[in-house]
Amino acid sequence: MSAGITLVTGATGHLGANLVRRLLEEGEQVRVMMRSERGNDALEGLDVERVFADLRNSEAVSAAVRGCARVYHCAALVSTIEGNAAHKREIFDTNVRGTIHILQAAERHSVDKVVVSGSLSATGYEPDRSSHEGMPFYPFERHLPYGLTKHLTEHECLKAHANGLNVVVATSCAIIGPHDYVPSRMGRVLIDYAHGNLRAYIPGGFEFVSGRDIAEGHVLAMRHGRSGQKYIFSTAYASVDDLMALFRETTGRPLPRLRLSPYLMAMLAEVTDKTWYRAFPNLPRRFTPGAVRLLQMRRRADHDKAKQELGYQPTQLSQAVQEAYEDFVRRGLITLAK
């Protein structure tokens, strides 16, 4: 157990909820920073100190950081839509300015080390090879506001490192696993599948990380990560067909009947984005042009750096799906057929 208080931002999110439990298992004294007292089921029954602050409020963030020895900054506004100007401003202020406030507060209060959660969407991509930490981010591709802000967040971490702060970026892929209280996009897909409500899917693929692995990766980054460095944590690449097979194996439900054309869905997503959703640009939706595009990129990630420098050992994706399913059943989000 490390001495002093450990602060976790974004503790009610999928990553944060798994990380907080991992830290408590280690006997750490955990403080969590939350925006409000509502919607905090992820922390129910946990022995944590709760402080309420908005990332966009530098004074409130400073008060939350004061007295902490370590900070895990997991909070971010995640989105797969373009949104309007107000939406983009909210993402920027939360993800970029919020991170600046965390880093400045860590410097001000002499925090020993900060681990900032990164995203694979802020990592360079080439179609014929796996993404790794050294790949440059190409800014002239069609990026979502979320990906751009996570890239800018990494830049702020490097600036803080140059100023003497011990800060590491722990990059996450798409998370699957328990303690998914929102629930996430993949969590909703699993819930729909288990209830027989997923009647179609789009082929594609992505790099996934289990909730167990990404929490462990953050702990390893805090213990052994070199300041100014970035580490990618993934469990395995899976095609959507692979994922559907895992869902079938876990739930006992048959596969969806329809395997839709990705090109047709991409066109449909673009059309609806420019017509119906133009009137409601910030409305959440299952299939956005960005989500379809990410699946069709079929991007893979290389986690060799984390394995070699930190001793990271990924588990199995099938285990993550099973744990997610069992947790949804326990919490009543999946009802077993009688």
* Residue range 232-268, pLDDT digits in tens: 999 999 998 999 999 999 999 999 888 876 666 655 6
Asked if the structure places residue 61 within a domain, the reply is yes
Q: Which residues, 6+ apart, have CB-to-CB distance to 131 below 8 Å? A: 120, 123, 124, 125, 207, 232, 299, 300, 301, 302
Residue written as tokens 């996009």? 185
Q: Is the pLDDT of residue 275 over 90?
A: no
The reported pLDDT for the residue numbered 173 is 93
The reported pLDDT for the residue numbered 271 is 56
Q: Is the pLDDT of residue 50 over 90?
A: yes
Can you read off the two tokens belonging to residue 259? 């395997």
The reported pLDDT for the residue numbered 128 is 86
Give me the CATH number covering residue 237: 3.40.50.720
The reported pLDDT for the residue numbered 282 is 54
Q: Is the pLDDT of residue 287 over 80?
A: no
- Mean pLDDT (the chain) is 90
Asked if the structure places residue 140 within a domain, the reply is yes
Q: Is the pLDDT of residue 290 over 70?
A: no
Q: How confident is the model at residue 54 (pLDDT cuts 50, 70, 90)?
A: very high
- Which of the two residues, 265 and 15, has the higher pLDDT score? 15
State the average pLDDT over residues 213-240: 97
The reported pLDDT for the residue numbered 277 is 47
Domain range holding 105? 5-184+206-241+299-317
Number of domains in the chain: 1
